[in-house]
Amino acid sequence: MTTGRTVAKPRTPSSTRRAIAAATIGNALEWFDLGVYALMAAYIGKTFFPGGNAAVQLVQAYAVFGITFLVRPLGGLVLGAYADRFGRKKALVLTIWLMVIGTFLLAVMPGYATIGFLAPVGVIVARLIQGFAAGGEFGAATSFLIEQDDRRKGFLGSFQFASQGFATLMSAGFAAGLTASLSADAMTSWGWRIPFVFGLLVGPVGYYIRRHVDEPEVAQEKQSKSTPVRTLFRFHWGGLLIAGGALVVSTSLNFILQSLPTFAIKNLGLDDSLSFVALMITAAILTFVTPIVGLLTDRHGRIGIMIVAAAVIGAGVVPLYLWVTTSPSFLTLTVTMTILGLLKAIYFGALPSVMADVFPAHTRATGLSFAYNATVGIFGGFTPTIATAMIAATGSPVSPGYYLLATASLSIVALVAANRRRGIR
């Protein structure tokens, strides 16, 4: 094994701002495209899948949505290893182009009525490309951000999740605006394509910014034989478990937040566009509060703040679910999602930097990408199924809250391990 060390150039405020913009704009675009698909699933199902049963078409559309979770761990390993071996910047440029290709396919793909079975096949291919790109985005972008300045890694890393909040804000804004202004027929015919066209317009901007930023210079331990993937699974299982465990409650809560508007529409009789507005308010909180929390954690420590937030999430979800189901209204839904959004922002303001700190630099992007995508695939991808099954089994609409309590407990254990075994504060 040989070890080399680069001499870091001084970081200026302008270079740090460019780095934040490069990671944030591209990351927001990628998560925007993923989020739009979920919100437009009903119209996509009618366009690309045959049959007159709207429920079956929706299930088929969501099944294609779930394909991204299957391919994301693979994308995380391949693109994460690429980032560790050849640089964060090259990986970020590659991921944004892959996402643009997938988005282009979705935006222009003719429907089933025009090209038959090639339509759903084309959608599947597009989603596989997007999932592969998203798999490598988290590790490369988070590594790129925190390696800008070791003293501000809580604040810089927080833009990883702030950009995801901004993506949710944009996708929910499109959903609310389009459903309020267009008829159902217009939405099915062409309206659902508008957000994807917007994504295509933003893509080149994200590429340009990423192409013209400096690569962060960090101490890199270069191994002459081992690859990042081999090294990760041979020596850093503990880091994978800690990083994935810390992410569990945030991932589960994220999918609960995304499903609450749909739950309110279908089961509580709330208006479609108003429910999407509630999601927009939550997304705005995640976008703007998360960096503030990241800044505070650089000054006051990360683990303690996150443990308190996880404990409050676990204890507070059941009462909030009970309130919104017994007193259904736009106000109760908005207040519930606002509280949960604030708790989530407090928890994951420092989460990217904590996850990054459990891995050495030479496997950081690979470890982050795999831990993130495996956890999201297991706990995020199956959270809606688990929540639905719990409601069906118990007959209680508040039962998903107990699932959140379990995941919060698991994350607290992981955070304690990060503090005691890795010395992360």
**Residues 210-261: tens digit of each pLDDT:** 887 878 766 444 443 468 888 998 889 999 999 999 999 988 887 777 767 7
Residue 53 confidence (pLDDT)? 59
Q: Is the pLDDT of residue 263 over 70?
A: no
**d(C-alpha 179, C-alpha 123), whole Å:** 22
Are residues 229 and 405 in contact, defined by beta-carbon separation less than 8 angstroms?
no
For 153-162, b/e burial (b = at least 16 CB within 10 A) is bbbbbbbbbb
Residues 56-80 pLDDT 10s: 666 667 677 677 778 889 999 999 9
What mean pLDDT comes out for the span 281-303? 91
Percent of the chain surpassing pLDDT 70: 86
**d(C-alpha 394, C-alpha 392), whole Å:** 6
Determine how many CB atoms are found less than 10 A away from the CB of residue 113: 10
List the beta bridge partners of residue 220.
4
Which two structure tokens, joined as six digits, stand for 356? 């990054």
For the structural domain made of 10-216+225-422, what CATH number should be given? 1.20.1250.20
- Where exactly are the structural domains of the chain? 10-216+225-422
